[in-house]
């Protein structure tokens, strides 16, 4: 069983390769797969039919089954079971499948580039269908169900350059998926209630399950929704005529023999057991009857042969669902008989239409003429199949219809509803006869008034498939015993004391025979009166078609979607933030009110008077930042709040924080000044005032809610903090007295690891934002740079005054031949130099670097550490840059920022990973104690190496900021500046005031 | 635990001012708002960790309760440095936005506006199609016709007239008209 299934999928998988080698003949290879499966089925059939159909899995005499565990925790199993019902479906799926694939080899052009994918999809569809009917697990069945939906979408949309194909494919997909989802809900409800998803077990215990009441009623109704969408019952019938945009072999297979039968299969599967639920009969009988009549009526209006068949199929599906869902042994036998008969004759007819379309170039029954005369074999095949459809003896269609009538005659004896049903069925059959005749006349007649259709001779191999199917209709009509044998075991699932009826050509003189005769006579009359009948049809007011309703529903959905998108996706960041923040205010507020948050009972104004003063300074800074209209003033005011924060930290007893905050604030100020120097001084404020009150209100609301949350959280605190143990833990196990630093590099080193990775990414991001094409890591040296060439002409030169005097002094200073204070100071334009700053830099730089190294090493026991050390070193570099320009910075950083980041990350990673090789945990630290000649006894903690990595990365980050926001922006604005010719003409003579004066 | 009112007020002020600035259009102010919010969050963590005390530098014999809480301090330290990295990154963005657009402002997304203004007419769903009566003869002609039609919808998607596509391109030109997008009624000019 599994072998057949897997083999079919496997052949589908390699199909594209076959097609590229063999062209369209590859369809023969593909057809071999289901054909082999069909032979396997015939071999297994005796075992299947003789087994006890109702037996659960594991019981003796149960039908053959295979179970492979899949996801045990979800109760999911790959459970397959081949019982009689599945076998009947398999006859159609494998038999008709093989013939249709065979037929495809003559239908398509060999040079069609999409053929490989198409063949694969068609065979995969057959495999999915096969899996669907074999599946003995609700979820597994659903998976195959959806697989057929998706493959059907692809197959309908085969000619994707046609709008009609694309639209029909999507429509079929949406509708059947909708039904499929409803079904999934129903299946899950059934599975959860039953406690198992094994279909055979559920059906065996169906009686108890149905007694559960409304839950199961609703679940079964949902499953029926899936069945009626798949089987194109009213009101979802319209996707099936639409799907005629598919290539005709696809229509023959999916929309006649196989896929639409999935819904019928589902009804048949659940009928013995769930047929008694609340919504079963209303849904099955009402919708079935409506579908029969609607399909038959519409079929009589169509002029496209394929659409005649499509509406005919709709009508027949109504029949099938109704009969199969009727319950009782007679219904079961009649249902399966009709299922097989319909599969045979409808597939034949579609294949015939395919041949006609292929050779005549049209399917319009108004212009076809002489086709039957041109190809007598085709004529015979079409006539037999149409006769079977119309229920003409001695064909299979007649046998099936007889038993259907018989089943309804029994129901009619019970009362009015049964009689109505019988009447409807007979009426439907009359319509069936009429549209069958319409089909035959349309495609096969030779009429004098119409020019003969150009019809080339049909190759024999093209006719094999329809001929075989037509032969089956004849053979099993005359000799229905084998089919009866296949159908009987399924009927045994229904309770009943009388022996089930048999499929037979001759039952004797029964009411059913009489009805058959009436049907034939009435159908013939309707056919003869077709001209007045069509006139009547045309005159009746047209009901709004379901497809139009569907399209207007989809249209409304579109409108609503556009409306909602338009209202919510305004494209304004401020708008989104406003919504998000409002939610962030309202949600906790509601929670606080509803759940009665704890209230704090102890308050104090402040920890110390100094704290109040610091807070007041910060508040002033905040207000000034809000009100300031100048860019740098606002930045400076925010900077003040930052320095205020440092004081707050210091007062709190957090020296590490105070130190870090102080350093960061300084570097941030430098970065701000560097980045924003080319922007206008005024804060441009186009819409600033428009929503000012709103923004202020939201801000205050947010601040207040945060205050309330904070106080409530503080009041809720009832456990001692875990950090009580940290100082001692840090000292004893981490080897450091500074608990904060040990936390960073040891106890919570993973956090730090993540953080410095972010730092490296941010540094790279800044460099890429400014350098754009690369990280700009190649080093520039000051050697070849002209004296005084950098930053020239960036400032207005005006004569006289203090500025003029200072510049003159600087020019003289630049020419002094003794050792310069800075390496690259000479490269800077004289008006940009500051003697005092250069001297101070010279004095400060090395001191600061030493200090940073001290902070790094001492950080384990005293305030400091890698972060503070790295920031101090970065600050030293910033001073070099500010004093000596970009070449000074390049000279001061012998290693590029990218290298620093890489080395830092490497060190950190190695420190993290090394303990693994020593049998420890990631990031574990060791305390090494040894003796060094000068230092004496040394206690070294390996987490210091981690801190060194942090230090290097922070230096790399600051260097990247200086290089990008400083050096590179310098370079760019200099490149844009039109340098006047006389400037810098003589490098050694500094530009004098006269030089630039006009 | 005792609530320190000064710190709470400070935190609320930071958040309120930060949000106010964050909702501005000027990118510089947005960045300043972010910094203020970051400071507010740090104060929040600090206030939650309890009152002032001895710095968490281990001294033999000192009771554990005397130290300030070291864990929040480690968190805040990380936050300070990350805020620095984010600030520098944002500065890079502001500079770039200024270089490219001479604008220091948060832009509205015109694509979103365009979506909001589009009509619900969709060629794929709503156009009328003639019935096919064969898969064979009409294939080439049909393919050509549909290809034209698909080219048309690219610029009429959002146009409200059913016949818009046909009338604009006169049925002959298979190539989309590049100016069509801008003529579209109600569309945002690019």
Question: Model confidence over A413-454: pLDDT tens digits?
Answer: 878 888 999 999 999 999 999 999 999 988 888 887 888 888
Question: Which residues are CB-contacts of B124 (< 8 A; sequence separation ≥ 6)?
Answer: A163, A166, A167, A170, B153
Clarify whether residues A398 and A491 are in a common domain: yes
Using the Cβ of B126 and the Cβ atoms of chain A, whether some distance falls under 8 Å is answered with yes
Whether residues B57 and A738 touch (CB distance < 8 A) is answered with yes
Whether residues A769 and B95 touch (CB distance < 8 A) is answered with yes
Clarify whether residues A959 and A921 are in a common domain: yes
Question: Model confidence over A920-974: pLDDT tens digits?
Answer: 888 888 888 888 887 777 778 888 999 999 999 999 999 999 999 998 888 888 8
Clarify whether residues A904 and A803 are in a common domain: yes
Q: What average pLDDT does the segment A392-405 reach?
A: 92
B70 is a domain residue? yes
Q: Which residue has the tokens 């790295």?
A: A870
pLDDT at A686: 53
B35 contacts on A by Cβ (under 8 Å): 638, 642, 668
pLDDT at A547: 83
Using the Cβ of A863 and the Cβ atoms of chain B, whether some distance falls under 8 Å is answered with yes
| Helices A692-716 and B27-48: angle between axes, nearest 10 degrees | 20
Q: State the Cα–Cα distance between residues B184 and B160, nearest whole angstrom.
A: 9
A701 is a domain residue? no
Using the Cβ of B71 and the Cβ atoms of chain A, whether some distance falls under 8 Å is answered with yes
Average pLDDT, chain A: 88
> What number of CA atoms fall less than 13 Å from residue A44's CA on the CB side?
21
pLDDT category at B149 given cuts 50, 70, 90 is: very low
For residue A874, say if its preceding peptide bond is cis, omega within 30 degrees of 0.
no
Q: Which of B9, B69, B133 sits opposite A364 (nearest CB)?
A: B133
Using the Cβ of A763 and the Cβ atoms of chain B, whether some distance falls under 8 Å is answered with yes
More confident residue, A649 or B137: A649
Question: Model confidence over A30-72: pLDDT tens digits?
Answer: 999 999 999 999 999 999 999 888 887 778 888 999 999 888 8
Q: Is the pLDDT of residue A214 over 70?
A: yes
Give A460-487 as a DSSP string. Answer: HHHHHHHHHHHHHHHHHHH--HHHHHHH
Q: Is the separation of the CB atoms in A22 and A32 below 8 Å? A: no
Q: Is the separation of the CB atoms in A275 and A327 below 8 Å? A: yes
Whether residues A606 and B108 touch (CB distance < 8 A) is answered with no
Q: Which of B71, B113, B124 sits opposite A571 (nearest CB)?
A: B113
Give the minimum alpha-carbon distance from B179 to chain A in angstroms, rounded to a whole number.
24
Q: What average pLDDT does the segment A293-312 reach?
A: 92
Report CA A36 to chain centroid distance, whole Å. Answer: 37
Clarify whether residues B55 and B17 are in a common domain: yes
Assess: ipTM above 0.85: no
Number of domains in chain A: 4
Whether residues B6 and A611 touch (CB distance < 8 A) is answered with yes
Nearest CA in chain B to A758: B82
Clarify whether residues A850 and A765 are in a common domain: yes
Give the minimum alpha-carbon distance from B162 to chain A in angstroms, rounded to a whole number.
14
Average pLDDT, chain B: 74
A876 is a domain residue? yes
Three-state SS string over A908-950 comes to HHHHHHHHHHCCCCCCCCCEEEEEECCCEEEEEECHHHHHHHH
Number of domains in chain B: 2
B23 is a domain residue? yes
Question: Model confidence over A147-171: pLDDT tens digits?
Answer: 999 999 999 999 888 888 898 999 9
Q: Which of B9, B42, B56 sits opposite A727 (nearest CB)?
A: B56
For residue A394, say if its preceding peptide bond is cis, omega within 30 degrees of 0.
yes
Helix, strand, coil: what percent of chain A each, to 5? Answer: 70, 5, 25
A242 is a domain residue? no
Whether residues B77 and A660 touch (CB distance < 8 A) is answered with yes
Q: Is the pLDDT of residue A782 over 80?
A: no
Residues 523 through 582 of chain A touching chain B, CB cutoff 8 Å: 551, 554-555, 558-559, 562, 565-567, 569-574, 577-578, 581
pLDDT at A541: 78
Q: Which residue has the tokens 């870090």?
A: A660
A615 contacts on B by Cβ (under 8 Å): 6-7, 9-10
Q: State the Cα–Cα distance between residues A119 and A8, nearest whole angstrom.
A: 12
Question: Model confidence over A305-348: pLDDT tens digits?
Answer: 999 999 999 999 999 999 999 888 889 999 999 999 999 999 99
Clarify whether residues B17 and B89 are in a common domain: yes
Clarify whether residues B94 and B114 are in a common domain: no
Nearest CA in chain B to A247: B135
Clarify whether residues A847 and A781 are in a common domain: yes
Can you give the residue range of the structural domain that contains B94? 5-101
Clarify whether residues B97 and B14 are in a common domain: yes
% of residues, chain A, pLDDT over 90: 54
Clarify whether residues B13 and B76 are in a common domain: yes
Q: Which of B3, B20, B129 sits opposite A695 (nearest CB)?
A: B20
Using the Cβ of B13 and the Cβ atoms of chain A, whether some distance falls under 8 Å is answered with yes
Clarify whether residues A584 and A507 are in a common domain: no
Clarify whether residues A559 and A509 are in a common domain: no
Whether residues A766 and B104 touch (CB distance < 8 A) is answered with no
Using the Cβ of B116 and the Cβ atoms of chain A, whether some distance falls under 8 Å is answered with yes
Q: Is the pLDDT of residue A823 over 50?
A: yes
Whether residues A740 and B70 touch (CB distance < 8 A) is answered with yes
Q: What's the whole-model pTM score?
A: 0.69
B189 is a domain residue? no
Q: What average pLDDT does the segment A267-295 reach?
A: 92
Q: Is the pLDDT of residue A821 over 70?
A: yes
Q: Which of B14, B16, B112 sits opposite A569 (nearest CB)?
A: B112
pLDDT category at A989 given cuts 50, 70, 90 is: very low
B116 contacts on A by Cβ (under 8 Å): 562, 565-567, 569-571
CATH of the domain at B9: 1.10.287
Whether residues A686 and B86 touch (CB distance < 8 A) is answered with no
What are the E-state strand segments in A539-686? 603-604
Can you give the residue range of the structural domain that contains A776? 739-978
Clarify whether residues A526 and A673 are in a common domain: no
Least confident of A179-188, A220-229, A261-270, A504-513: A504-513
Helix (H) / strand (E) element for A153: namely helix A138-156
Give A50-91 as a DSSP string. Answer: HS-TTPPTTSTTPPPEEEEEEEGGGTEEEEEE--HHHHHHHI
Least confident of A118-122, A478-482, A555-559, B104-108: B104-108
Question: Model confidence over A611-664: pLDDT tens digits?
Answer: 999 999 999 999 999 988 888 999 999 999 999 999 999 999 999 999 999 999
More confident residue, B146 or A807: A807
A15 is a domain residue? no
Clarify whether residues A511 and A556 are in a common domain: no
Clarify whether residues A790 and A930 are in a common domain: yes
Q: State the Cα–Cα distance between residues A745 and A860, nearest whole angstrom.
A: 9
Q: State the Cα–Cα distance between residues A858 and A852, nearest whole angstrom.
A: 10
More confident residue, A497 or B50: B50
Domain boundary among B80, B101, B122: B101
CA distances from A487 to A85, A746, B151 (A): 8, 76, 54
pLDDT at A542: 74
Q: Is the pLDDT of residue B186 over 50?
A: no
Clarify whether residues A636 and A579 are in a common domain: no
Using the Cβ of A603 and the Cβ atoms of chain B, whether some distance falls under 8 Å is answered with yes
Give the minimum alpha-carbon distance from A196 to chain B in angstroms, rounded to a whole number.
42
Clarify whether residues A871 and A823 are in a common domain: yes
Clarify whether residues B142 and B84 are in a common domain: no
More confident residue, B64 or A758: A758
Clarify whether residues B26 and B86 are in a common domain: yes
Clarify whether residues B69 and B130 are in a common domain: no
A626 is a domain residue? yes
B132 is a domain residue? yes
B190 is a domain residue? no
Clarify whether residues B120 and B146 are in a common domain: yes
């Amino acid at each position: 069983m599994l072998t057949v299934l897997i083999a079919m999928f496997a052949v589908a998988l390699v199909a594209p390769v076959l097609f590229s080698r063999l062209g369209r003949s590859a369809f023969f290879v593909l057809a071999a797969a289901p054909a082999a499966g069909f032979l396997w089925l015939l071999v297994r059939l005796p075992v299947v039919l003789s087994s006890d159909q109702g037996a659960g899995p594991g019981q003796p005499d149960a039908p053959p089954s295979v179970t492979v565990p899949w996801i045990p925790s979800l109760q999911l199993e790959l459970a397959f079971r081949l019982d009689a019902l599945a076998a009947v479906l398999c006859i159609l799926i494998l038999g008709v499948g093989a013939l249709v694939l065979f037929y495809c080899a003559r239908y398509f052009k060999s040079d069609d580039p999409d053929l490989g994918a198409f063949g694969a999809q068609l065979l995969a569809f057959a495999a999915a269908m096969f899996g669907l009917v074999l599946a003995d697990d609700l979820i597994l069945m659903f998976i195959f169900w959806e697989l057929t939906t998706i493959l059907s979408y692809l197959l309908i949309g085969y000619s994707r350059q046609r709008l009609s194909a694309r639209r029909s494919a999507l429509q079929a997909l949406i509708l059947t998926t909708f039904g499929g989802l409803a079904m999934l809900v129903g299946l899950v409800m059934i599975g959860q209630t039953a406690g198992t998803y094994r279909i055979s077990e559920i059906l065996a215990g169906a009686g108890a399950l149905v007694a559960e009441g409304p839950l199961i009623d609703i679940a079964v109704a949902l499953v029926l929704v899936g069945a009626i969408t798949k089987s194109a019952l009213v009101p979802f019938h319209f996707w099936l005529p639409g799907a005629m945009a598919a290539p005709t072999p696809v229509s023959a297979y999916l929309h006649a023999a196989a896929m639409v039968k999935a819904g019928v299969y589902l009804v048949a599967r659940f009928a013995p057991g769930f047929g008694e639920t609340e919504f079963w009969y209303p849904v099955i009988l009402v919708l079935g009857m409506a579908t029969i009549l609607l399909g038959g009526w519409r079929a009589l209006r169509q002029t496209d042969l394929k659409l005649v068949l499509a509406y005919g199929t709709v009508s027949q599906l109504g029949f099938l669902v109704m009969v199969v869902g009727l319950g009782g042994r007679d219904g079961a036998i009649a249902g399966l008989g009709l299922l097989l008969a319909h599969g045979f004759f409808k597939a034949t007819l579609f294949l015939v239409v395919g041949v006609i379309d292929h050779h005549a170039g049209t399917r319009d029954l108004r212009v076809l003429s002489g086709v039957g005369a041109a190809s007598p074999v085709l004529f015979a095949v079409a006539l037999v199949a149409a006769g079977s459809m119309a229920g003409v003896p001695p064909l299979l269609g007649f046998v099936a219809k007889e038993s259907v009538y018989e089943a309804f005659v029994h129901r009619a004896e019970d009362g009015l509803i049964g009689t109505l049903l019988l009447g409807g069925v007979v009426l439907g059959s009359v319509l069936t006869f009429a549209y069958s005749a319409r089909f035959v006349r349309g495609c096969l007649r030779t009429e004098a008034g119409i020019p003969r259709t150009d019809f080339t001779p049909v190759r024999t191999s093209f006719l094999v498939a329809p001929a075989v199917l037509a032969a089956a209709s004849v053979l099993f009509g005359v000799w229905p015993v084998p089919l009866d044998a296949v159908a009987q075991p399924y009927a045994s699932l229904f309770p009943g004391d009388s022996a089930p009826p048999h499929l037979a050509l001759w039952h004797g003189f029964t009411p059913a025979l009489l009805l058959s005769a009436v049907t034939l006579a009435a159908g013939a009359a309707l056919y003869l009166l077709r001209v007045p009948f069509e006139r009547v049809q045309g005159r009746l007011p047209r009901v709004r078609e379901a497809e139009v309703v569907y399209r207007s529903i989809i249209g409304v959905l579109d409108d609503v979607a556009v409306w909602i998108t338009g209202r919510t996706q305004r494209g304004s960041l401020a708008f989104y933030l406003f919504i998000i923040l409002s939610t962030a205010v309202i949600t906790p507020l509601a929670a606080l009110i509803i759940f009665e948050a704890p209230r704090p009972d102890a308050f104090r104004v402040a920890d110390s008077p100094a704290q109040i003063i610091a807070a007041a300074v910060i508040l002033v800074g905040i207000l000034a930042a809000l009100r300031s209209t100048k860019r740098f003033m606002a930045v400076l005011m925010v900077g003040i709040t930052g320095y205020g924060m440092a004081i707050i930290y210091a007062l709190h007893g957090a020296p590490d924080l105070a130190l870090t905050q102080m350093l960061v604030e300084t570097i941030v100020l430098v970065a701000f000044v560097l980045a924003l120097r080319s922007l206008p001084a005024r804060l441009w404020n186009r819409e600033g005032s428009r929503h000012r009150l709103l923004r202020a209100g939201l801000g205050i609301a947010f601040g207040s809610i945060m205050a309330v949350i904070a106080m409530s959280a503080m009041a809720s605190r009832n456990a001692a903090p875990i950090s009580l143990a940290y100082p001692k833990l840090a000292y004893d196990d981490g080897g450091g007295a500074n608990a904060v630093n040990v936390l960073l590099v040891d106890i919570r080193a993973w956090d730090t690891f993540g953080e410095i990775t972010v730092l490296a990414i941010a540094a790279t991001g800044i460099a890429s934002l400014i350098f754009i094409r690369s990280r700009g890591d190649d080093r520039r040296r000051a050697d070849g740079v002209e004296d005084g060439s950098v930053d020239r002409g960036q400032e207005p030169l005006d004569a006289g005054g203090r500025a003029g005097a200072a510049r003159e002094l600087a020019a003289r200073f630049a020419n002094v031949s003794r050792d310069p204070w800075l390496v690259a100071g000479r490269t800077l334009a004289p008006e940009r130099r500051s003697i005092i700053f250069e001297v101070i830099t010279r004095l400060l730089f090395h001191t600061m670097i030493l200090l940073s190294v001290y902070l790094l090493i001492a950080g384990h026991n005293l305030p400091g550490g890698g972060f503070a050390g790295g920031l101090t070193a970065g600050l030293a570099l910033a001073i070099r840059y500010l004093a000596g320009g970009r070449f000074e910075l390049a000279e001061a950083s012998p290693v590029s920022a990218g290298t620093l980041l890489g080395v830092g990350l490497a060190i950190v990673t190695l420190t993290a990973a090394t303990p693994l090789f020593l049998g420890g945990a990631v990031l574990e630290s060791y305390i090494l104690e040894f003796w060094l000649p000068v230092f004496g006894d040394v206690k070294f903690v390996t987490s210091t190496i981690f801190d060194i990595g942090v230090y290097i990365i922070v230096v790399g980050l600051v260097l990247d900021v200086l290089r990008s926001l400083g050096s590179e922006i310098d370079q760019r604005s200099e490149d844009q500046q039109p340098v006047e010719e006389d400037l810098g003409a003589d490098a050694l003579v500094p530009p004098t005031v006269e030089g630039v004066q006009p | 635990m005792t609530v320190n009112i000064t710190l709470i007020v400070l935190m609320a002020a930071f958040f309120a001012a930060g949000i106010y600035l964050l909702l501005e259009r000027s990118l510089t102010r947005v960045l300043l708002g972010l910094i203020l919010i970051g400071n507010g969050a740090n104060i929040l963590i600090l206030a939650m960790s309890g009152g002032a005390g001895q710095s968490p530098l281990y001294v033999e014999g000192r009771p554990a309760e005397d130290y300030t809480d070291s864990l929040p301090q480690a968190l805040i330290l990380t936050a300070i440095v990350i805020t620095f990295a984010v600030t520098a990154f944002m500065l890079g963005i502001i500079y770039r936005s200024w270089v490219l657009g001479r604008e220091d402002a948060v832009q509205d997304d015109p694509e979103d506006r365009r979506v909001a203004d589009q009509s619900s007419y969709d060629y794929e769903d709503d156009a009328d199609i003639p019935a096919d009566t064969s898969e064979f003869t009409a294939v080439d002609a049909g393919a050509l016709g549909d290809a034209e039609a698909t080219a048309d919808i690219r610029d009429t998607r959002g146009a409200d007239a059913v016949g818009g596509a046909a009338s604009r391109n006169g049925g002959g030109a298979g190539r989309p008209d590049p100016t069509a997008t801008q003529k579209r009624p109600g569309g945002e000019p690019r």
